[in-house]
Amino acid sequence: MKVIFNVDVRGQGKKGEMKEVSDGYARNYLLPRKLASEATADAVNAFKLREKAKAAQAAREKALAEENARRLEGVVVQIQARAGQGGRLFGAVTSQEISDALREQHGIEIEKNKIVQAEPIKQFGSFEVKARLGSEISGTINVLVTEKK
């Protein structure tokens, strides 16, 4: 019997996979526990539509990530911060501050969890911060930290 797995089943198949299993295993274990559904014509068509929709969504996300990476080139984000003696900042420049400044100054939307800082920014100067924009797509944000007046 052909089934479409609704969840990952160890040793049998992964979620969304269509596979041939024995009739008894399907009737007595997979179907009653809703681990899989029978691969009828309607279910197969719905499965294919969902797969197409997922592929289209992934393509849109990749295009958006590439667009953001292109827009980040040559962009400098200025952040003003307060410091004590010796030019050391009170605290550090956070990913949230970089995200907010990027949105305000250049209109580029990047979530704070996509900004990766190798080490915290705790002094004035110019820094390069990586941003994971999508699968295998990353960009560089140039951050300029200046003294708040």
DSSP code string of 53-95: HHHHHHHHHHHHHHHHHHHHTT-EEEEEE-B-GGGEEEEEE-H
**Per-residue pLDDT at 118:** 86
**Per-residue pLDDT at 22:** 94
- Asked if the model's pLDDT at residue 46 lies above 90, the reply is no
Bridge partners for 116 per DSSP: 130
Sign of CA dihedral 78, 82, 86, 88: negative
The SS3 of residue 130 is strand
Q: Across residues 97-118, what is the average pLDDT? A: 91
The SS3 of residue 24 is helix
Sign of CA dihedral 25, 30, 36, 40: positive
- Asked if the model's pLDDT at residue 77 lies above 90, the reply is yes
The SS3 of residue 136 is coil
Q: Across residues 98-117, what is the average pLDDT? A: 91
| Residue 77 CB contacts under 8 Å (≥ 6 apart), including other chains | 98, 101, 102, 105, 106, 141, 142, 143, 144
> What is the percent of the chain where pLDDT is above 90?
51
Reported pTM: 0.67
For the chain, list the domains and their CATH numbers.
Answer: 2-61 (3.40.5.10), 67-147 (3.10.430.100)
**Per-residue pLDDT at 88:** 83
13-36 confidence digits (pLDDT tens): 998 888 999 999 999 999 999 999
